[in-house]
Amino acid sequence: MIALLFTITVGPDRPRGEVPARTSLRAAAGLPALGRLCERFAVRPTWLMTWPVAARDEGAWFGEQWDRGAAEVGVCLEPWNTPPFEANEDRLIAHPPSAVPASAVQAKLARLTAIVESRYGRAPRCHRAAGGGLDGPALQALERLGYLADLSVLPLNDGRADGGIDWRDAPTVPYFPDRQRPARRGASPVLEIPVTCGYDQPMPVSVARALSRLPTRAGGLLDRLADTFEAPVPRRACLDPAVTPLPAMRRLAEAAVERGEPVLHLHLRGEALTPGCSALCPDPAAAEAARDRIEDFLRFAVDEIRAEPMTVSAFVEHHLALTGDPVGPRPGRGL
């Protein structure tokens, strides 16, 4: 059995990918339609709330889904819009938690956790760092706050150019990370559940890691050779319906099943479904195409692969029941 997780970041609008001076939540208001689509396939999404949404009444619908077991609510830390703010902090530039001082990450995560618990009557148990920027201090802050799972790792991707983390050597399956270097296995009690990433052609993980280290120019040369000789060239992709074509997502999922991986982790930024609210969705045609990819992939995963839809917390319990807990008792709230 392979589990299916669908995690959606619920954030403010970012037209053209930029952080606007005035916060707008038009995209978040349109996400109940995605929730209804998920229910058609018995998929229970995990909504990852950012501060601007959690701090306003627009997020009430997500709590109602959580209350009746149709979904779960977690958090996504976007440091630029989450208080408390440093005196010289630039709030108009998106940056990952790994680019923020450790003390500020702890304070921001604590405030974000508290507002979600206050809003929905229970504490969140899963987290994603914006931009995949989970470093050691952020992971340790999650431990202190009692989180069960993190969803930040993007295997085979190097995010350092944007202030993030080099995940090229990180495991592609759920693991307990090292407290100082989260890309490695270690003794943290927070279960890391990477987004499903890989290449759109079947290959061993060792080969995929080697390909991920090719210089950009080498990758461009391979693309040109492929176009010249009409030969397929592996291209890196993630289970992200806003950016990845459906055939590539299907191949990624099939390869994960062949490798015996325990979970398919599909991730989406919610604003990518509303025209004009992100660089990925400039017009209604792009929004419709993304919704079609989501529907087609969910149908494929549930009906053909027979993946079992779960929330993140349900998967953590399932994973620990199958594998045992190699790191001992958990701090904070526990399971």
Residue 334 lies in a domain: no
β-bridge mates for residue 6, sequence order: 266
Q: In this structure, is residue 328 part of a structural domain?
A: no
Reduced to 3 states (helix: H, G, I; strand: E, B; else coil), residue 133 is coil
Give the domain CATH number at 145. Answer: 3.20.20.370
Residues 218 and 75 reside in one and the same domain: no
Based on the fold, state whether residues 120 and 44 are members of the same structural domain: yes
From first to last of its 335 residues, what are the pLDDT tens digits of the chain?
A: 899 999 999 999 998 888 887 888 888 988 999 999 999 999 999 999 999 999 986 678 899 999 999 999 999 999 999 999 987 888 888 889 998 999 999 999 999 999 999 999 999 999 999 999 999 999 999 999 999 999 999 999 998 887 789 999 999 999 999 999 999 999 999 999 999 998 877 778 888 888 888 775 555 565 565 556 555 677 788 999 999 999 999 999 999 999 899 999 999 999 999 999 999 899 999 999 999 999 999 999 999 999 999 999 999 999 999 887 654 444 443 32
Q: Same domain for 217 and 267?
A: no
pLDDT, residue 331, reads 45
Residue among 108, 93, 75 nearest 8 (CA):
75
Same domain for 73 and 214, yes or no, is: no
Residue 332 forms part of a structural domain? no
Query: Strand 197-199 to strand 236-238: parallel, antiparallel, or no bridges (unpaired)?
Result: antiparallel
**Residue 170 shares a structural domain with residue 223:** no
What's the pLDDT score for residue 137?
95
CB neighbour list of residue 60: distance below 8 Å, 6 or more residues apart: none
277-293, pLDDT tens digit by residue? 999 899 999 999 999 99
Residue 130 lies in a domain: yes
Number of independent structural domains in the chain: 2
285 & 211 share domain:
no
Q: What is the pLDDT of residue 22?
A: 84
What is the model's pLDDT at position 47?
A: 97
How many other CB atoms are found less than 10 A from the CB of residue 333? 12
| Per-residue confidence (pLDDT) for residue 329, from 0 to 100 | 41
Helices (H) and strands (E) in the chain, counts: 11, 10
Domain, as residue range, for 218: 206-234
Domain membership of residue 330 (yes or no) is no
Q: Is 247 exposed, middle or buried (0-12, 13-18, 19+ CB in 10 A)?
A: exposed
Spatial CB neighbours of 260, under 8 Å, sequence gap ≥ 6: none
Structure token pair of residue 311? 């929330």
Residue 224 sits in the same domain as residue 244: no
- Does residue 13 share a domain with residue 140? yes
Same domain, 157 and 254: yes
In this structure, is residue 36 part of a structural domain? yes
**Cα–Cα distance measured from residue 109 to residue 114, given in angstroms and rounded to the nearest whole number:** 8
Q: Residues 123, 213: one domain? A: no
Whose tokens are 């902090």? That residue is 89
The model's pTM: 0.91
pLDDT digits (tens, 9 = 90+) for 212-256: 887 755 555 655 655 565 556 777 889 999 999 999 999 999 999
- Residue 216: what pLDDT? 57
Give me 334's structure tokens: 């526990």
CA distance 111 to 321: 32
9 plus 90 within the same structural domain: yes
Would you say residue 48 lies in a domain? yes
In a domain, residue 20? The reply is yes
Domain boundary among 234, 254, 288: 234
182 plus 98 within the same structural domain:
yes
